Structure 1
Amino acid sequence: MNTLIREARQEDIAQIQIVRNSVKENTLSDPGLVTDKDCEEFLFQRGKGWICEIEDQIVGFSIADLKENNIWALFVHSDFENHGIGRKLHDIMLDWYFEQNKDSVWLSTSPGTRAEIFYRKSGWKEVGTHGKGEIKFEMTSENWKNKEL
């Protein structure tokens, strides 16, 4: 399997939306809530994104938002879970984020999900709740820098 991680491009948005709507956890109540325009804004004006491609198919993506110091998205297509794709996308995104910005970054996810376990194992600290009962996690530059120690 030839796996490629690269920066997201404009023409990737349609496949990014397919991946976003394929997930079994943290699903959107209405897929129309996240538009192609939203993706474009977060990818090219507010921050940056990366995709994982296997044989020309996008199977995962991550997007960091510098404007709100937030991880806007990290999703892997359900058919490609448990292959380390989320970890690679997570790490390249945080390396880039902390090269741009020393402010801590936050994200939120539903409790009781595999995403919650993933973020806890990745060194994210729970700092409260966000939105409709989601867990709010934070990562500091210091914690990220020292993650391998």
Structure 2
Amino acid sequence: MRENLLSDPGRVTLRDYQDHLGPAGQTWVHEEDGVILGFSAATRATATIWALFIHPDHEGRGIGRGLLDCAVDWLWSQGAAEVGLTTGAGTRAEGFYRAAGWREASTTNGEIQFILPAAPLAPHP
């Protein structure tokens, strides 16, 4: 079963993707042998994860965690105090984000909003 399919893919436009390759954010891909197996995208202005998708045949290999870490690290480098994202309630993605340390901020219409506060910097010795 495939989860977190876009409920209205027509709402996501080519321009949305283009913006996350340039002015609005940043995008990362995981590629093997010339095939993209997953991607993540982050939005600078809202400090959010805009997308994180992995080909279902390649889930469970750590690709998603690696792509998520890239996006979060980039948002921290842009000065974000916390990072947010939304995902469907009761999905495997919900468990994935909880296991990665994300906190539930709210739930609306079956969508959970998660936040990840920036870790405090360790004191210098």
Q: So what's the TM-score if we normalise by structure 2?
A: 0.89
Taking the aligned partners of 2:71 and 2:9, their CA distance within structure 1 comes to 24
Q: Which runs of 4+ in 1 moved over 4 A?
A: none
Cα RMSD over matched residues? 1.8
**Count, aligned residues:** 122
Identical residues among aligned pairs (%):
45
Q: Which runs of 5+ in 1 are unaligned?
A: 1-22
Taking the aligned partners of 1:129 and 1:30, their CA distance within structure 2 comes to 19
- Is residue 136 from structure 1 mapped to residue 74 from structure 2 by the alignment? no
Higher deviation after alignment, 99-108 or 109-118: 99-108
Taking the aligned partners of 2:110 and 2:96, their CA distance within structure 1 comes to 18
Name the structure where strand makes up a greater proportion of residues: 2
How far off its partner does 1:102 sit?
3.1
Taking the aligned partners of 2:51 and 2:68, their CA distance within structure 1 comes to 10
Taking the aligned partners of 1:93 and 1:29, their CA distance within structure 2 comes to 23
Find the partner of 1:57 among 35, 48, 58.
Answer: 35
CA contact (8 A) 2:52 2:68 kept: yes
- Is residue 109 from structure 1 mapped to residue 57 from structure 2 by the alignment? no
Q: Which runs of 5+ in 2 are unaligned?
A: none
Taking the aligned partners of 2:80 and 2:119, their CA distance within structure 1 comes to 9
Taking the aligned partners of 1:29 and 1:105, their CA distance within structure 2 comes to 23
